[in-house]
Amino acid sequence: MTDTPYERLGGEAKLRALVERFYALMDAEPEYYGIRKLHPDDLASSTDKLFMFLSGWLGGPSLYVERFGHPFLRARHLPFAIGTSERDQWMDCMARAMAEERIAPELQALLAGALARTADHMRNRAE
């Protein structure tokens, strides 16, 4: 049996809860307006896509790749102006969601590091 971050997180149900909390916070909290405005009014599709992406990224089922093919994250985010502020808002929102979902602190730290590298790579706006 492998010990993937997906399994350590708690699998499908826990990942779904984390992603739903992430988008609920983004939708409700004014400090995340900068990233909220980059999303459609209805967050259902965004929620599903992030859940599917993170499933495979964390070592679980490759749901996103099976449905949409390679994620090409940077290319898919190029239409949106993403700078340091947006990166930091995304990271803060995810950190808060992980804490509220009571993800184990050592897993939070591991995920935060990996997500920070990915979020930083999404920046496409000079500041």
Please check whether residue 49 lies inside any domain of the structure.
Answer: yes
Beta-strand ranges (E) seen in the chain are: none
Please check whether residue 126 lies inside any domain of the structure.
Answer: no
Q: Is the pLDDT of residue 1 over 60?
A: no
Question: Per-residue DSSP letters for 6-22?
Answer: HHHHTHHHHHHHHHHHH
- Give tens-digit pLDDT for 40-83: 999 999 999 999 999 999 999 999 999 999 999 988 898 999 99
Question: Per-residue DSSP letters for 30-42?
Answer: GGGHHHHTTS-SS
- pLDDT for res 2: 65
Burial 17-32 (b: 16+ CB within 10 A, else e): bbbbbbbebbeeeeeb
Return the CATH number at 16.
Answer: 1.10.490.10
- Give tens-digit pLDDT for 97-116: 999 999 999 999 999 999 99
State how many domains the chain has.
1
Rounded Cα distance between 94 and 86, Å, is 12
The domain in which residue 93 lies consists of 5-121
Confidence of residue 127 (pLDDT cuts 50, 70, 90): confident
Please check whether residue 101 lies inside any domain of the structure.
Answer: yes
Confidence of residue 32 (pLDDT cuts 50, 70, 90): very high
Please check whether residue 98 lies inside any domain of the structure.
Answer: yes
